[in-house]
Structure 1
Amino acid sequence: MKNIAVLYGGFSSEFEISVKSSKQICNWIDKNRYQEFPVLVRPDGWFYPDENGIEVDKSFFGIIQNNEKIHFDYAYIIIHGSPGENGLLPGYLEMMQIPHSTCPSLVSALTFNKYFCKLALRDLPVNLAKSVLIRKNETSDTQQILRYVGLPCFVKPNNGGSSCGTSKVKSIEDLTPAIELAFKEDTEVIIEEFIQGTEISCGVVKTSSFSAVLPITEIVPKKEFFDYEAKYTPGMSEEITPARISKSMYELCQQYTSQIYDFLGCKGIVRIDYIIRNEMLYFLEINTVPGMSEASIVPQQARHYGIAMTDLLTAIIEDNKSI
């Protein structure tokens, strides 16, 4: 029986989301095949099963319990943000030759950086919103930026997720406070063209035993945009699977999702967000560690596809490309 470390927590504002996702992952893991070990990852250490438990020995990636050394054979990463989604944790696991559930460290680092991920996708046919990158303690011409991206626009931490620190800016007076808010989450900020349209999200998983582009979900936030509150507060958004979009757009979105996954060299479950404006599909961002709570988008899509989450996780864990 394999020992599966379910790594949760992390260093970002998405900590609580990770905790919720980890509980579902532990519930879904096949108990007849695997022994799960929830491992809390914090800046001051890694602990099983929580901060009051046993500290993980990173020299061999395991724990000593009752004088017995227990090695973890596999890592299921469910940390949104740093260090799970930005390549740091995958890099450690790859160095230790521990197979894991997410993208390779280089791919994770690239996809977590919104600006450079878009640069990497420029040669693909998918449309990209105009964007500008600014760094902390560097001077920037806000008027010139707004002439390029226009108003309204979005201001986001360049490395981050769940819309933490994200603002919709409608006037030049609101730009500086929005940038300051984003800088609380990251040292880089991306200012992005606002695209009015239908927001959709598409999950994809490719393993040696099971591959599928999942049904597309349409996201209808009850606020101005799909922010942290809309994502994680019941009733603040409507998520419709399958999305109410044209057949041609549906097929195009699934085609692009598969193409982006392969082009970037992704692994495991990935979710890609888009927006449709005037029957044109715009790439928004890629999530290499998507939420896995019961209400999260990917589990909804898996249900509509017809695969049980236990079977999906088994396919990922048993994937021969895991290391």
Structure 2
Amino acid sequence: MKQNIAIIMGGYSSEYNISIKSGNVVFEHLDDKKFNKYRVIISKEGWAYLDESEVKHPIDKSDFSITLSGKKIRFDCVFNAIHGTPGEDGLMQAYFELLGIPQTSCGHYQAALTFNKRDLLSTLRPHGIKCAESFLLDLGDPIDETAIVEKVGLPCFVKANKAGSSYGVTKVYKQEELKKAVEVAFEEDDEIIIESFLDGTEVSVGVITYQGKVTVLPITEIVSENDFFDFAAKYQGQSQEITPARISRAKEQKVSAIAKEVYEILKLDGFSRSEYIFVGDEPYLLEVNTTPGLTEESILPKQAREAGISLEELFESSILEALKK
């Protein structure tokens, strides 16, 4: 008997459209001979199942079910393809945990922790994970530009603390540019993190649980045509994403081991993608994504293909792992 799989996509953040693309890729590649697939749009306007005729049917939030032709349909598993809130910050995970419905991403605590860049880095530093120097600001705090520059130097990155796809990120070269960059970051979040610039090779490392085993995927080297790996570089082709990365075997082994260690320290499961910059031979962690992009342009699917894992196999394994929880 085929299992009912809800593929949730959309969300409440600036990453809504990217998530829709990711969700549709999952929908297209999941084997419909094995699964009954349902696209579920999560938006501020409401939650709805989107049928093949693009007609929306409301979700009953009391048990996350739908009613079609008078028949109630429940889901055996949820494939989480939401980037940003509420799919990457722990809210949907907690909701499904309360309902007892398996879902493909990590648990609610891990999602909340990794989505908060400040808390993530604070958790990992005691384990010896190297990170950039940082300065923290909350909305309403006085902005002491001199103190910021003394702490992190120039150039530096001003980032929204809880956002993805490089929304709310500015590279700042001059002290007088800080105020505007802070304003941009506060448009995305009421907390920001200002980090020192790390000059070196940037890589992205996918770590997943695949067929019951924690697996580090082939590493991707990021070469942006822009000043940094911003939205246009990520999604509009303004970068080279080279898999496998053009780094030494020693660097590959070191960053792979650290990425796996981070995955295990945080007790993650499902998909993850972490970003690092090499300063000399040392990888410095930038962030960890627990619902990484799954579009055709996204890094993790490319890494999986390099490892000989098709999207069909990747997504099916994710569901089977979720059902084991």
Fold shared per TM-score above 0.5 = yes
Q: Paired residue for 2:46?
A: 45
Q: What CA distance in whole angstroms lies between the structure 1 residues aligned with 2:214 and 2:323?
A: 13
Q: What CA distance in whole angstroms lies between the structure 1 residues aligned with 2:213 and 2:131?
A: 30
- Cα deviation, 1:2-48, whole Å, max 9, x if unaligned, reads 11110000011111110111111011112121111000001221011
- Unaligned 5+ residue runs, structure 2? none
| Root-mean-square deviation (Å) | 1.3
> TM-score, normalising length from structure 2?
0.96
- Cα deviation, 1:31-86, whole Å, max 9, x if unaligned, reads 12111100000122101117850010011111001000000111111110000000
State how 1:63-142 maps to structure 2 within 5 Å: 63-142=66-145
Q: What CA distance in whole angstroms lies between the structure 2 residues aligned with 1:276 and 1:266?
A: 24
Amino acid at match of 1:284: L
**SS in structure 2 of the partner of residue 274 of structure 1:** strand
**SS in structure 1 of the partner of residue 125 of structure 2:** coil
Q: What CA distance in whole angstroms lies between the structure 1 residues aligned with 2:322 and 2:8?
A: 20
**SS in structure 2 of the partner of residue 205 of structure 1:** strand
- Cα deviation, 1:235-266, whole Å, max 9, x if unaligned, reads x0001000001110100111011110010011
- Unaligned 5+ residue runs, structure 1? none
Q: Paired residue for 2:305?
A: 303
Give the deviation of 1:210 after TM superposition. Answer: 4.3
Q: Paired residue for 2:217?
A: 214
Bigger mean CA deviation after superposition, 307-316 or 77-86: 307-316
Give the deviation of 1:142 after TM superposition. Answer: 2.0
Q: What CA distance in whole angstroms lies between the structure 2 residues aligned with 1:214 and 1:191?
A: 30
Q: Paired residue for 2:33?
A: 32
**SS in structure 2 of the partner of residue 127 of structure 1:** coil
Q: 1:255 aligns with which of 248, 254, 257?
A: 257
State how 1:1-323 maps to structure 2 within 5 Å: 1-49=2-50, 52-207=55-210, 209-234=212-237, 236-319=238-321, 323=325
**SS in structure 2 of the partner of residue 156 of structure 1:** strand
Give the deviation of 1:280 after TM superposition. Answer: 1.5
Contact 1:100 1:322 in 2 (8 A): no
Q: What CA distance in whole angstroms lies between the structure 1 residues aligned with 2:316 and 2:21?
A: 20
**SS in structure 2 of the partner of residue 185 of structure 1:** coil
- Cα deviation, 1:270-319, whole Å, max 9, x if unaligned, reads 00000012111100100100000112101110111011111121111111
Amino acid at match of 2:315: L
Q: What CA distance in whole angstroms lies between the structure 2 residues aligned with 1:225 and 1:254?
A: 23
Q: What CA distance in whole angstroms lies between the structure 2 residues aligned with 1:168 and 1:301?
A: 28
**SS in structure 2 of the partner of residue 35 of structure 1:** strand
Amino acid at match of 1:283: L
Query: How many residue pairs end up in the alignment?
Result: 322
Amino acid at match of 2:18: I
**SS in structure 2 of the partner of residue 319 of structure 1:** helix
Amino acid at match of 2:318: I
- Cα deviation, 1:109-150, whole Å, max 9, x if unaligned, reads 000000110000012232110111110012232211110100
Identity %: 42
Q: Is the alpha carbon distance of 1:264 and 1:4 closer, same or farther for their aligned partners in structure 2, counting shifts above 3 Å?
A: same
Q: Is the alpha carbon distance of 1:320 and 1:179 closer, same or farther for their aligned partners in structure 2, counting shifts above 3 Å?
A: closer
Q: What CA distance in whole angstroms lies between the structure 2 residues aligned with 1:101 and 1:94?
A: 12
Q: What CA distance in whole angstroms lies between the structure 2 residues aligned with 1:83 and 1:320?
A: 19
**SS in structure 2 of the partner of residue 147 of structure 1:** helix
- Cα deviation, 1:208-231, whole Å, max 9, x if unaligned, reads 534410000001000010001111
